[in-house]
Amino acid sequence: MPVKKPKDFLDDHSVKYVTVSHSQAFTSQEIAASAHISGRELAKTVMVKLDGKMVMAVLPASYKLVLDLLREATGARHAVLATEEEFRDLFPGCETGAMPPFGNLYGLDVFVSQSLAEDEEIAFNAGSHTELIKLAFADFQRLVEPTIAKISSKDAAWV
């Protein structure tokens, strides 16, 4: 099955969303500042290998992923950050590092930080380093069916 573009996927499911264009930015902090969106409302996607299986971890841009929390939440024995080379080809049509958190479109499990699930709306990369999609978290949850767990911390060191 060909991968749908995020906006096509949302349109097909009659989801209301807004696109936000911004100057080219690569880090979540740069994106949030450029798009004038709170770092708590901006979702970043981090690719992780759990026991060798590629998964998506989605958390607020202002938070850090805690690999031990993700491992515990999933029952995995090993959790390591994936390299760009390991995941680049999994997201056709997306710029590297700008993939949307729709793991279901790419055959990937998605784990969302509990802190992000507390927000009414989220924004995330739309497949490029110059455009975001903003929508209700409830719509995102309904379409992606992620596992929600405590996997991040605002104060933790990157682990």
Q: What was the pLDDT predicted at 29?
A: 79
What the block records as the tokens of 65 is 């992923």
Res 32: pLDDT: 81
Residue type, 106: Y
Q: Which fold has domain 6-153?
A: YbaK protein (3.90.960)
pTM as predicted: 0.91
DSSP string, 56-114: EEEEETTSEE-HHHHHHHHT-S-EEEPPHHHHGGGSTTS-TT---S-GGGTT--EEEEH
The whole-number average pLDDT for the span 59-78 is 95
Residue 4: the pLDDT is 61
What are the extents of the domains in the chain? 6-153
Residue 151: pLDDT band with limits 50, 70, 90: very high
- Per residue in 7-44, pLDDT (tens digit) is 999 999 999 999 998 888 888 878 888 888 887 789 99
Q: Please say whether the beta carbons of 125 and 99 come within 8 A.
A: yes
Cβ-Cβ contacts under 8 Å for 75 (sequence gap 6 or more): none
